């Protein structure tokens, strides 16, 4: 095969290996087929083999599309069910207009997976607001309580736990329906356990945030981009395959023309030989040679013309081929950068702008592996705002949110460049101290705690002191992440037990 075609196949291989990377984890069957196409291209750079491999790709892309439709149907059903469950609860009053408009949106857009995060986010927001309203009604005025619509049942811990059970089971079912890359599997399990295991409605807002983050990663626009892209890719690969076949045929026809020309020459030479042998006078011999030369010249011109035409065609189709492959490469690069952008969004917490729990998990595992391999010290600190519920209950959730934005800013003033701060969830933050001894980390934690405690927070004009408690642990080089984290969490519990605004470290 000629070098240009070799280069094209090489680019094709590169593109396919990028696609396999992008598609990874989304559909295992699709992964296997892309791998087999890559293997076939590597073993035999033959157009027929490429064509056969591409045929297997087509039904998979169709199946992927069908799966998407059934996921969309379940998604729609679960969202509508979630709205009804919360609306039907005896202690809640969902605003009818907002509910109706959201239901209309769901019915209109359920098939467009790029709209899912938005629909889910709106649903969860409406559910959250409805539930928060019901919890704040506990403190509402007598008039408010008298004019409550569903007066037969007051919110009690039992009702709250009933709400939590209804909502959390519907959410857990929704989560069962989503596919996530492997690294999020543990997080998904944790959230499902937390949802089905907790009956405390106060945990719901934080859990809802985590659900949104996960759904954003799982069903974000990336899925739709990927399906669209795979369909496009399928067409592009098919057309590249046609070009390869045309090229192959053209080469075959060039070699048959060459053979024909060789045979024509041979015939002329043989005929001339016998004519020369039989010639009787010089003039007729001259005439004969002239005629033969003329015929040979004509055959040569004809061959040259046809070769030039073939070469022109071949060059044209190689250029087209190169353009197609480079377009595929551009598409792959574009898709990759948009996926990276979305993953970056999904890794950051919208309230504080800090990296979130998913980002923490992406960061801590490689750091622990490297600390164990290089025998370096590493500490983690779990930090929790003290009596945060009281802040919410006294000044409202908006002020609570403001405090959650300000606390990490104060913490950051006491952190060094290599220290990594995450919002782990709710009012809990985690700091990773890479290459830091327990004594050094303890000193940093005391500085963090002091930085928060010494800052007066302005609550509607009133300066209020907010404090945090910290549990600190040193990685022993062998233990699992969960063991390390649980130890830090136990130390945090001790800090709370011993009066809060404290740092407790490993013994
Ligand atoms: N405003 C606001 N509140 C949140 C958010 N996430 C979690 N919370 C609230 O944080 C509070 C945490 O309360 P608890 O876990 O009882 O703890 P605490 O009141 O801080 O008490 P201690 O930890 O024992 O000092 C709950 O009321 C949650 O609803 C958020 O994003 N914004």
Which pair of structure tokens corresponds to residue 3? 């070098």
Kindly give the distance from the C-alpha atom of residue 379 to the centroid of ligand 1, in angstroms, as a whole number: 25
State whether the beta carbon of 471 lies less than 6 angstroms from ligand 1. Answer: no
The CA distance from 120 to 109, in Å, is 11
Kindly give the distance from the C-alpha atom of residue 118 to the centroid of ligand 1, in angstroms, as a whole number: 26
Instruction: Specify the ligand 1 atom closest to the Cα of 403.
Output: 1
Domain boundaries, the chain: 3-25+224-344, 64-219, 357-505
Cα 231 off chain centre by: 18
Query: How would CATH label the architecture of 357-505?
Result: 2-Layer Sandwich (3.30)
Which mutation among 426, 429, 471, 497 tests ligand 1's pocket best, with the greatest number of atoms within 8 A of CB? 426
pLDDT score, position 222: 53
Spatial contact of 99 and 83, defined as CB atoms under 8 Å apart: yes
Instruction: Specify the ligand 1 atom closest to the Cα of 384.
Output: 23
pLDDT score, position 254: 73
State whether the beta carbon of 205 lies less than 6 angstroms from ligand 1. Answer: yes
3-state secondary structure of 474: strand
Q: What are the angstrom distances between the C-alpha of 357 and each of 51, 176, 186, 417, 471?
A: 45, 20, 12, 20, 17
State whether the beta carbon of 404 lies less than 6 angstroms from ligand 1. Answer: yes
Buried b (16+ CB within 10 A) or exposed e, 243-267: bbebbeeeeeeeeeeeeebeebeee
Which mutation among 388, 395, 468 tests ligand 1's pocket best, with the greatest number of atoms within 8 A of CB? 388
State whether the beta carbon of 88 lies less than 6 angstroms from ligand 1. Answer: no
The CA distance from 174 to 185, in Å, is 15
Kindly give the distance from the C-alpha atom of residue 187 to the centroid of ligand 1, in angstroms, as a whole number: 20
DSSP at 356: -
pLDDT score, position 448: 97
Please report which helix (H) or strand (E) contains residue 463, including its range. strand 462-465
State whether the beta carbon of 427 lies less than 6 angstroms from ligand 1. Answer: yes
Give the residue from 387, 380, 372, 481 showing the smallest Cα distance to 427: 387
CA dihedral (233, 235, 239, 244) positive or negative: positive
State whether the beta carbon of 389 lies less than 6 angstroms from ligand 1. Answer: yes
> Taking CA 406 as the corner, what is the angle to CA 405 and CA 409, rounded to the nearest 5 degrees?
100
State whether the beta carbon of 396 lies less than 6 angstroms from ligand 1. Answer: no
The CA distance from 506 to 329, in Å, is 52
Give the residue from 398, 386, 369 showing the smallest Cα distance to 460: 398
Identify the segments of the chain with pLDDT beneath 70: 1-31, 33-65, 68, 89-92, 113-114, 117, 131-167, 173-185, 198-206, 209, 212-241, 243-245, 247-248, 251, 279, 321, 325, 339, 343
pLDDT score, position 129: 74
DSSP at 419: -
Backbone angles phi and psi of 431, in degrees to 5 = -115, 135
Spatial contact of 466 and 452, defined as CB atoms under 8 Å apart: yes
Spatial contact of 11 and 41, defined as CB atoms under 8 Å apart: no
Kindly give the distance from the C-alpha atom of residue 236 to the centroid of ligand 1, in angstroms, as a whole number: 53
Which mutation among 132, 208, 389 tests ligand 1's pocket best, with the greatest number of atoms within 8 A of CB? 389
State whether the beta carbon of 477 lies less than 6 angstroms from ligand 1. Answer: no
Tell me which residue has tokens 């996926």: 339
Q: What pLDDT digit, counting tens, does each position of 199-258 carry? A: 666 666 667 767 766 666 655 545 556 666 666 666 666 666 676 667 667 767 777 777
State whether the beta carbon of 387 lies less than 6 angstroms from ligand 1. Answer: yes
pTM (2 d.p.)? 0.48
Instruction: Specify the ligand 1 atom closest to the Cα of 390.
Output: 19
State whether the beta carbon of 386 lies less than 6 angstroms from ligand 1. Answer: yes
Kindly give the distance from the C-alpha atom of residue 140 to the centroid of ligand 1, in angstroms, as a whole number: 20
Instruction: Specify the ligand 1 atom closest to the Cα of 425.
Output: 6
Backbone angles phi and psi of 250, in degrees to 5 = -60, -40
The CA distance from 180 to 175, in Å, is 10
3-state secondary structure of 51: helix
Q: What are the angstrom distances between the C-alpha of 291 and each of 67, 159, 265, 272, 284?
A: 74, 110, 14, 10, 11
pLDDT score, position 469: 98
Give the residue from 223, 221, 194 showing the smallest Cα distance to 206: 194
State whether the beta carbon of 424 lies less than 6 angstroms from ligand 1. Answer: no
């Amino acid at each position: 095969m000629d070098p240009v075609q070799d280069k094209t196949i090489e680019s094709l291989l590169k593109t396919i290996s990028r696609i396999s990377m992008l598609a990874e984890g989304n559909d295992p069957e699709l992964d296997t087929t892309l791998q087999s196409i890559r293997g076939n291209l590597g073993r035999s750079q033959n157009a027929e083999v490429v064509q056969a491999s591409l045929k297997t790709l087509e039904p998979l892309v169709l199946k992927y599309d069908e799966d998407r439709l059934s996921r969309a149907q379940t998604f729609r059903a679960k969202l509508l069910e979630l709205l009804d469950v919360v609306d039907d609860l005896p202690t809640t009053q969902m605003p009818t207009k907002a509910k109706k408009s959201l239901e209309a949106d769901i019915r209109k857009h359920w098939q467009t997976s790029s709209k899912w995060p938005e629909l889910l986010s709106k649903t969860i927001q409406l559910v959250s607001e409805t539930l928060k309203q019901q919890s704040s009604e506990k403190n509402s005025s007598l008039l408010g309580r008298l004019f409550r619509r569903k007066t037969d049942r007051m919110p009690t811990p039992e009702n709250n736990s009933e709400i939590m059970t209804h909502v959390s089971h519907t959410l857990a079912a929704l989560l069962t329906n989503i596919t996530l890359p492997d690294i999020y599997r543990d997080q998904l399990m944790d959230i499902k356990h937390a949802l089905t295991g907790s009956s405390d409605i106060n945990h719901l807002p934080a859990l809802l945030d985590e659900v949104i983050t996960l759904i954003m990663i799982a069903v974000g626009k990336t899925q739709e981009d990927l399906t669209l892209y795979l369909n496009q890719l399928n067409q592009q690969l098919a057309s590249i395959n046609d070009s390869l076949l045309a090229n192959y045929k053209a080469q075959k026809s060039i070699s048959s023309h060459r053979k024909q020309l060789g045979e024509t020459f041979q015939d002329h030479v043989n005929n001339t030989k016998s004519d020369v042998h039989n010639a009787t006078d010089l003039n007729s011999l001259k005439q004969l040679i002239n005629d033969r030369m003329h015929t040979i010249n004509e055959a040569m011109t004809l061959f040259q013309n046809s070769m030039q035409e073939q070469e022109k065609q071949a060059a044209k189709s190689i250029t087209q081929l190169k353009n197609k492959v480079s377009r595929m490469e551009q598409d792959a690069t574009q898709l990759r950068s948009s996926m990276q952008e979305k993953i970056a969004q999904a890794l950051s917490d919208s309230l504080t702008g800090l990296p979130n729990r998913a980002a923490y998990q992406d960061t801590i595992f490689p750091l622990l592996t490297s600390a164990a391999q290089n025998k370096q010290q590493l500490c983690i600190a779990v930090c929790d705002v003290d009596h945060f519920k009281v802040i919410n209950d006294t000044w409202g959730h908006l002020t609570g949110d403001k405090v959650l934005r300000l606390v990490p800013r104060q913490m950051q003033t006491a952190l060094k460049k290599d220290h990594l701060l995450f919002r782990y969830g709710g009012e809990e933050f985690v700091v990773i101290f890479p290459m830091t001894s327990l004594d050094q980390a303890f000193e940093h934690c005391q500085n963090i705690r002091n930085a928060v405690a010494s800052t007066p927070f302005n609550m509607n004009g009133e300066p209020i002191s907010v404090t945090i408690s910290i549990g600190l642990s040193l990685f022993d080089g062998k233990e699992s992440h969960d063991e390390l984290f649980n130890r830090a969490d136990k130390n945090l519990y001790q800090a709370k037990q011993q009066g809060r605004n404290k740092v407790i470290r490993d013994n």
